[in-house]
A and B are shown apart, each in its own frame.
Chain A
Amino acid sequence: MWNKVLVLLFCAVFAAAGRYYNESLDLKPLPRNKLLASFQFNVESLPFDLKYYDTSAELQGNHHYTYFPRALGPIIESTNTRELHLRFTQGWWDSESWGRLPSSGFQSGGTGVEVSALIEARDVQTAKANWFKLTKTLSGFFCASLNFIDDSITTFPKHAASSQNHTNYSSQPKNKLFFIRAALPSEPICTENLTPFLKLLPTRGKSGVSSLLDGHKVFDSLWHGMSIDVRTDCDSKTCSLKMLQSVNQVVDIIRSKRKKEEGGLPKPTPGNKLRCDDTKTFNAWQCFPLSDPTNLEWSLETIYGRRIIGPAFADDPESTVINVDTEPSTWKVGLSKNRGDVTESYHISGPKKNHISEYLREQVKYDFQFETSNSSVVNPIKAPPLYVTRSLTGYSQDKGGLRVTFTNPSDEETVDFVYFESLPWFMRLYLHTLTVEVKKDGEIISNAIDTSYIKDRFYKPAVDRKRPSHLELSISIPPKSSLTLTYQFDKSLLLYHEYPPDANHGFAIEPAVVTIFDKDGNDIYEARTTSLLLTLPTPDFSMPYNVIILTCTVMSLAFGTIFNLLIKKVITEEEMEEITKSSKINIAVAKIKSRVQQLKALIKPKKE
Chain B
Amino acid sequence: MALAETISRKVHKLGLVPKAIKLLPVISFLLAVASVSWLLSLPLDGNYRNTYISENALMPSQVTSYFRESEWNIVRGYRGELEFLEQTSNEQRNLKMEKWLNDIGLVTAYHHNGFTKDTLYAIMHAPRGDDTEAMVLTVPWITSEGEYNLGALALAAALARYFSRMSIWSKNIIFVFPEDSHAALRSWVAAYHTSLENTAGSIEAAIVLEYGKNGDYFDYYEMFYEGLNGQLPNLDLLNTANLIGYHEGLHCSIQGTPGEELTKNTYFTRLRTLVRGIVALTLSGLRRNVPGCESFSGWQIQAITIRAKGSKGPHDVTQFGRVVDSTFRSVNNLLEKFHQSFFFYLMLSSKNFVSIATYLPSAVFLAVSFALSSLGCLLNSGVEASEFVNNIGRLLTIFTLIELGGFMLSLLLPLLTINTPLELQDEVVLQILLVLSIFTFILALSPLTLKKQFKFFKLNKPLTFGLISLSLFFISMLITTLLIVHFSLALLVGFLSLPLTFVQPIITQGLREKSARALEEDKLFEGSKKDPLSQIVSLGRADKAKIKVSLLLIISSPFFVIFLAGSYFDPENGVSLMRGLLTSWSELQCWTWYVVILGWFPAWLGIALSCVFGNFEVDYSAAFNDTKKEI
Contact = CB atoms under 8 A, between A and B. Distances in A.
16 contacts: A91-B130, A252-B167, A268-B69, A280-B80, A286-B73, A286-B77, A287-B77, A288-B80, A291-B103, A393-B194, A503-B337, A504-B336, A504-B337, A530-B131, A531-B130, A573-B9
B76 A271 contact: no
A192 to B, nearest CB: 16
Interface string B114-136: 00000000000111111111000
Contact of A506 (B81, B131, B202): B202
B104 interface: yes
Contacts of A291: 103-104
A252 B127 CA distance: 9
B160 to A, nearest CB: 11
A185 B131 CA distance: 11
A270 to B, nearest CB: 7
Interface string B52-95: 00000000000000111111111011101100000000000000
Nearest to B76: A286
B334 interface: yes
B77 A276 contact: yes
B105 interface: yes
Contacts of A530: 130-132, 201
Given A389-B199, A506-B202, A560-B1, A531 B132 contact: yes
B339 interface: yes
A32 B105 contact: yes
Given A255-B165, A405-B197, A533-B202, A289 B74 contact: yes
Contacts of A15: none
Interface stretch (A37-45, A218-226, A518-526): A218-226
A285 B77 CA distance: 8
Given A266-B165, A274-B73, A285-B76, 17 more contacts: A112-B130, A219-B128, A222-B127, A252-B127, A255-B167, A271-B73, A274-B70, A280-B80, A280-B81, A282-B77, A288-B80, A389-B197, A393-B194, A503-B336, A505-B335, A505-B337, A535-B337
Closest 5 CB pairs of A and B: A288-B77, A291-B103, A287-B73, A533-B132, A530-B131
Contacts of B78: 288
A281 interface: yes
Given A268-B66, A291-B104, A564 B1 contact: yes
B541 interface: no
Contact of A265 (B66, B77, B197): B66
Contacts of B495: none
Interface string B317-352: 000000000000000001111011000000000000
B298 interface: yes
A284 B334 CA distance: 39
B570 to A, nearest CB: 31
A533 B340 CA distance: 19
Nearest to A255: B167
Contacts of B69: 268, 271
A413 interface: no
B339 to A, nearest CB: 5
A287 B127 contact: no
Nearest to B64: A265
A282 B81 CA distance: 11
A92 B129 contact: yes
A219 B128 CA distance: 8
Contacts of B299: 395
B128 A223 contact: yes
B161 interface: yes
A269 interface: yes
Contact of A221 (B72, B105, B126, B128): B128
B10 interface: no
Contact of A535 (B80, B130, B202, B340): B202
Contacts of A288: 74, 77-78, 80-81
B107 interface: yes
A66 B130 CA distance: 38
Contacts of B300: 395, 535
Given A269-B70, A287-B76, A291-B104, A503 B131 contact: no
A65 to B, nearest CB: 34
Contact of A503 (B9, B298, B339): B339
Nearest to A284: B73
A91 B129 CA distance: 5
A383 B194 CA distance: 27
A582 interface: no
B210 to A, nearest CB: 23
A270 B70 CA distance: 6
Contact of B133 (A91, A221, A223, A533): A533
Interface in B478-505: none
B613 interface: no
B268 to A, nearest CB: 38
A270 B66 CA distance: 12
B202 A266 contact: no
A531 B129 CA distance: 11
Interface residue tally of chain A, by bracket?
35 or more
A502 interface: yes
Interface in B166-205: 166-167, 193-199, 201-202, 204
Nearest to A185: B130
Given A252-B127, A560-B1, A391 B132 contact: no
A535 B339 CA distance: 12
Interface residues of B, number: 53
B130 A90 contact: yes
Contacts of B194: 393-394, 403
Contacts of B399: none
A392 interface: yes
B563 interface: no
Contact of A96 (B67, B107, B133, B335): B107
A580 to B, nearest CB: 11
B186 to A, nearest CB: 13
B202 A392 contact: yes
Given A391-B199, A573-B9, A224 B337 contact: no
B162 interface: yes
B173 to A, nearest CB: 13
Contacts of A32: 105
Contacts of B162: 266
A508 interface: yes
A55 B129 CA distance: 42
B130 A111 contact: yes
A141 B558 CA distance: 71
Contacts of B74: 274, 287-289
Given A271-B70, A289-B161, A291-B104, A111 B131 contact: yes
B257 to A, nearest CB: 33
A417 to B, nearest CB: 18
A267 interface: yes
B202 A389 contact: no
A185 B78 CA distance: 40
A358 interface: no
Interface string A496-528: 000000111110100000000000000000000
A532 interface: yes
A561 interface: yes
A532 B201 CA distance: 7
Contacts of A564: 1
Interface string A568-580: 0000010000000
B131 A286 contact: no
A389 B201 CA distance: 11
A567 B104 CA distance: 85
A94 interface: yes
B70 A287 contact: yes
Interface in A234-292: 252, 255, 258, 265-271, 274, 276-277, 280-282, 284-289, 291-292
Given A281-B77, A285-B76, A564-B1, A91 B334 contact: no
Given A504-B336, A505-B133, A220 B202 contact: no
Contact of B125 (A94, A267, A270, A560): A94
